[in-house]
Structure 1
Amino acid sequence: MTQAFDVVIVGAGMVGAALATGLGRSGFRVGLVDQGAAPSYDAAQPPDIRVSALSAGSERYLAELGAWPDILAMRATRYTRLAVWDETDHPLSNVLPRKIAEVVFDARNLSARHLGHIVENRITQQALWSSASAQPSVTLFCGHAVTSLSNSDNYATVTLDDGTELTGELVVGADGANSGVRNLAGIGVTRDQYQQQAMVVSVRYQGPVQDITWQGFYPSGPRAFLPLHAAGNGESWASLVWYDSPEELARLKSLDNSALMAEIQNAFPPELPLLTHIDARASFPIARQHAKNYVNNRVVLVGDAAHTINPLAGQGVNLGFQDARCLQSVLREARRAGCDLANPARLDQYEQQRRPANRRMMLAMDVFYHLFSNRTPPLHLLRNLGLGAAKAMPFARNRVAKYAMGIDDDLPPVIRQLAERLPGFKQL
């Protein structure tokens, strides 16, 4: 059986479901394919171990799609401050204040109510599945994988594992870092594996929900705190991230909850509240990956299928939402002009807008990774001078904050200058 659509989107994660919703609201006939079942939410469940720091720009986009009220009705934790500091020992550690170069980004200095929200991925995904399903022109194909792709001059066709064929003017790969659509379309990637891995731990702690997210930087990698919702009985939930070598994280994962909690309490900065419970843990490798092209004839990539970055500041999904918003706009303009949705000039507009923007964020994350994840004395001095300068110059600090919030699309000059000196800069 063959079904015809304007656009077929493969991957109904957060980015794919957002794009389907946006196109559906504009009247496009959309086929949305995903191997998984519809996500579910139960307020009594512990938090999803996968969380994202949604920027103010992403919130605006989700509000446009009608999904943001549903997210707030489930649970989302607003944060108004973000703090970073260096925890590396140095010859003057016993003399100087511990956080002499701490930088705090505060929403009040930007005349904003908050910097963003920490939201569980399954909550964002469920809200977007609901908003996509509510569009009459969107059809969901749940529990099916794509087995083949035909990318012809006149139309594109994907074949599902039950033999169903879906045709469209355009096929969008929104199926993640290991994108099957990207592989079937013959689009290559450049990939750099970082030496570190990241372990994420869902915990409860004593005290109220905090309005700050912070990262202390160690030579082995940062250790981060992301606040979540209240747990009752005077406790709150949080997500902790510990970056370290694969060997060290394997050792930590082998510990029972009591021993792991003691290790975390001892290894994290003293700002970490007293932990009372560990619910879940998981670790994953970290890689920077960029598709060599975002477009091949009638196939276009968005989100992690097009790019993955160091998750240092939780910006991956925000970049994906920006991809979706941009592609949505380009396709609306193509439809308004009576063009084929795969018109090369139109799709080139999408790539020319999104590739440089994604590259800028990749560079920013690599600056932090290379600057902080080492014990080299000159770099230790440089990063503390940099943090000290940011602390002393509100204008520079606020430029960085606006960039991270999705308010300002220009990479702050100091980060660009440092990025240009990084290995692999030309390949991004």
Structure 2
Amino acid sequence: MIGQVSTISRRHAINIASLARHCYMRSIPISSQLIKTCTTSSQSHYDIAIVGGGVVGKTVACQLLSNPVFKSKKIALVATEIPTLDPDRGSNMQDSGSTHQSERHDSAPDLRVYTITPHSRNLLKSCGVWDKLLPNDFFSFQDMQVWDSVGNGHIRFHAQQAGKKHLAHVVEHKVLLSALQQRMEELQQNFQCFNTYIPAKVKHYCPPDAANYVSHIGLENGDEFRAKLVIAADGGKSVIRTLSNLGTWGWDYDQVAVVATVRTDGPNITAWQRFFPTGPLALLPMRDGYSSVVWSCSAEMAADLTQLSSKEFCQRLNEALLDPPRVAETFTYPDFPIFSDLVKGLTNTTQTIMAVGAMADPFQAPPKVTEITGDRIQFPLKLSHAITYCRPGVALVGDSAHAIHPLAGQGLNLGLADAQALVDVLAEGVLCGESLSSPIFLEEYEKKRKKANVMMALVMDGFKRLFGPSPDAVALARNVGMTSLNAVEPLKNQVIKYAMGLT
């Protein structure tokens, strides 16, 4: 059977290659490199059009360009922003002995950062993107601590418990996007037909009909083209999703995330997260001794935090990170001695559990924040999920398909997993001689990703609600649960593996 599929794929590739249009080399003003592109007519025709030039969109492009199955396919990328390469990224980055490998960044980090799991790192490595990052383009951390502001419950995670060197890697948006752009341009040199429309915005879009499964896209600059498959990677306000009548479900959290970059009084090598009734506060280690702050709270509190002076903001941060927890109240029932005795017994039991759990993996104090670097920004938080990811000739990936609460930093990891799953099923379809717009393989992609994405979204939603405003009895139960999990290593290992994308 394997031999038969291989024979079919070779014949299929030869047939498509014989029909492929003539391609030529032309200079693209956004780069000093020569990029191989297809000759464009008044209305070009593509096999695949990727709408969206962000991290997920360019990851899809790199996955396609690096897979020989798509060698004869005509592919287009539509992006709204002109990409810029890091000036430190020269062609000599390929040389492992290059002095660029040891250079530090002079500028402050980007406010937008991502927590890349080992699974996502492997995905980026498989298409050659991760190797474009310098050693100090990212920070890899081995440990994470989560604790409550109401009660003494805490839990610590360690990469070694999952058999890995690192729990995750913190990478800046601009750095990762630059690495993707560099790798994409490199891959284009050996690809038959790839066109980029940059900068460009979709003005109108006609979804495919049942007769031919071909989409029509018109851009604001007047360019038009058709595509057998449109991959929507154009974000939470996806034009392609909207015009394809692919609805969404979800809700606003009535919360805002305040983001800042800070320095601490000592090396920060751990990811920290403390839960408050108003929302979680995360402190993530970054390159060159920086740390990223993501503070989820109400809109009123966010407005206050962004208007504080740098000194006042640091003070508020340290109070939130370092102040002792509020201890949940123990209730008594003077008129019902039996109830009081029962509560007293439960309290003693929980204190014993907490003490044992704390000894299993002791609490560590986070570092003190000493200064803030640059601006503070904020963005609203919500849960949003597409009712369906696909229709014939259209597929959603990344934020166009789903948005979740950022408390675990899983948003981009889900989008990267979408990219890999979609390219895998498309490759399978090509090898079987199917059309790229075939609903058979697109539905297989949705089946693979929808369950995982919905589960992660609901888990994050559950954590957000669990640690929200709640009675002291709930807070006590929450603390006991955290501390108990901290002491049960096999169960904790499963939680770690799930968060790392290993299960």
- Please give the residue correspondences for 1:403-414 in structure 2 after superposition, counting only pairs within 5 Å: 403-408=498-503
**What residue number does 1:44 align with?**
106
Distance 1:229 1:171, change over 3 A: same
1:265 maps onto 2:321 in alignment = no
Q: Highest CA radius of gyration, 1 or 2?
A: 2
- Runs (5+) with no aligned partner, structure 2: 1-41, 88-104, 323-364
In the alignment, the residues of structure 2 paired with residue 46 and residue 143 of structure 1 have an alpha-carbon distance, to the nearest angstrom, of: 27
In the alignment, the residues of structure 1 paired with residue 74 and residue 314 of structure 2 have an alpha-carbon distance, to the nearest angstrom, of: 50
In the alignment, the residues of structure 2 paired with residue 74 and residue 130 of structure 1 have an alpha-carbon distance, to the nearest angstrom, of: 17
**Letter aligned with residue 113 of structure 1:** K
- Please give the residue correspondences for 1:156-171 in structure 2 after superposition, counting only pairs within 5 Å: 156-171=215-230
**What residue number does 1:219 align with?**
277
**What residue number does 2:62 align with?**
21
**What residue number does 1:30 align with?**
75
In the alignment, the residues of structure 2 paired with residue 15 and residue 58 of structure 1 have an alpha-carbon distance, to the nearest angstrom, of: 11
TM-superposed deviation, 1:320: 0.3
Comparing 300-309 with 124-133, greater Cα deviation is found at: 124-133
1:245 maps onto 2:291 in alignment = no
Residues 228 and 239, structure 1, Cα contact 8 Å, conserved in 2: yes
- Please give the residue correspondences for 1:121-136 in structure 2 after superposition, counting only pairs within 5 Å: 121-136=173-188
In the alignment, the residues of structure 2 paired with residue 142 and residue 130 of structure 1 have an alpha-carbon distance, to the nearest angstrom, of: 15
Q: Which secondary structure state, in structure 2, belongs to the residue aligned with residue 241 of structure 1? A: strand
**Letter aligned with residue 407 of structure 1:** L
TM-superposed deviation, 1:68: 0.4
Q: Which secondary structure state, in structure 2, belongs to the residue aligned with residue 131 of structure 1? A: helix
In the alignment, the residues of structure 2 paired with residue 61 and residue 375 of structure 1 have an alpha-carbon distance, to the nearest angstrom, of: 40
TM-superposed deviation, 1:152: 2.2
Residues 55 and 116, structure 1, Cα contact 8 Å, conserved in 2: yes
Which of 105, 120, 135 is residue 58 of structure 1 equivalent to?
120
TM-superposed deviation, 1:82: 1.1
**What residue number does 1:114 align with?**
166
Structure showing the higher helix proportion among its residues: 2
- Please give the residue correspondences for 1:16-415 in structure 2 after superposition, counting only pairs within 5 Å: 16-26=57-67, 27=71, 28-41=73-86, 43-73=105-135, 75-88=137-150, 99=152, 101-136=153-188, 137=191, 138-153=194-209, 154=212, 155-208=214-267, 210-230=268-288, 236-269=289-322, 271-408=366-503
TM-superposed deviation, 1:407: 0.5
In the alignment, the residues of structure 1 paired with residue 468 and residue 133 of structure 2 have an alpha-carbon distance, to the nearest angstrom, of: 35
Q: Which secondary structure state, in structure 2, belongs to the residue aligned with residue 374 of structure 1? A: coil
In the alignment, the residues of structure 1 paired with residue 109 and residue 117 of structure 2 have an alpha-carbon distance, to the nearest angstrom, of: 20
TM-superposed deviation, 1:74: 5.6
- Runs (5+) with no aligned partner, structure 1: 90-98, 231-235, 409-428
**Letter aligned with residue 77 of structure 2:** L
**Letter aligned with residue 69 of structure 1:** D
Residues 115 and 169, structure 2, Cα contact 8 Å, conserved in 1: yes
In the alignment, the residues of structure 2 paired with residue 256 and residue 312 of structure 1 have an alpha-carbon distance, to the nearest angstrom, of: 25
Q: Give percent identity, aligned residues only.
A: 33
TM-superposed deviation, 1:22: 0.7
Residues 203 and 280, structure 1, Cα contact 8 Å, conserved in 2: no
**Letter aligned with residue 283 of structure 1:** Q
Residues 133 and 139, structure 1, Cα contact 8 Å, conserved in 2: no
Q: Which secondary structure state, in structure 1, belongs to the residue aligned with residue 374 of structure 2? A: strand
In the alignment, the residues of structure 2 paired with residue 345 and residue 70 of structure 1 have an alpha-carbon distance, to the nearest angstrom, of: 35
* Residue-by-residue CA offset, 1:112-142 (whole Å, 9 max, x unaligned): 1111100001111111122222223432221
Residues 207 and 243, structure 2, Cα contact 8 Å, conserved in 1: no
In the alignment, the residues of structure 1 paired with residue 459 and residue 372 of structure 2 have an alpha-carbon distance, to the nearest angstrom, of: 34
TM-superposed deviation, 1:357: 0.6
TM-superposed deviation, 1:312: 0.6
Give TM-score scaled by structure 1 length: 0.88
Structure 1 runs (4+) deviating above 6 angstroms are: none
In the alignment, the residues of structure 2 paired with residue 382 and residue 37 of structure 1 have an alpha-carbon distance, to the nearest angstrom, of: 51
TM-superposed deviation, 1:268: 2.5
* Residue-by-residue CA offset, 1:281-321 (whole Å, 9 max, x unaligned): 11111000001110122111000000000011100000000
Give TM-score scaled by structure 2 length: 0.76
Residues 31 and 166, structure 1, Cα contact 8 Å, conserved in 2: no
Number of aligned residue pairs:
392
* Residue-by-residue CA offset, 1:91-117 (whole Å, 9 max, x unaligned): xxxxxxxx4x32111011222111110
**Letter aligned with residue 131 of structure 1:** R
Residues 203 and 277, structure 1, Cα contact 8 Å, conserved in 2: yes
Residues 48 and 229, structure 2, Cα contact 8 Å, conserved in 1: yes
**What residue number does 1:414 align with?**
none
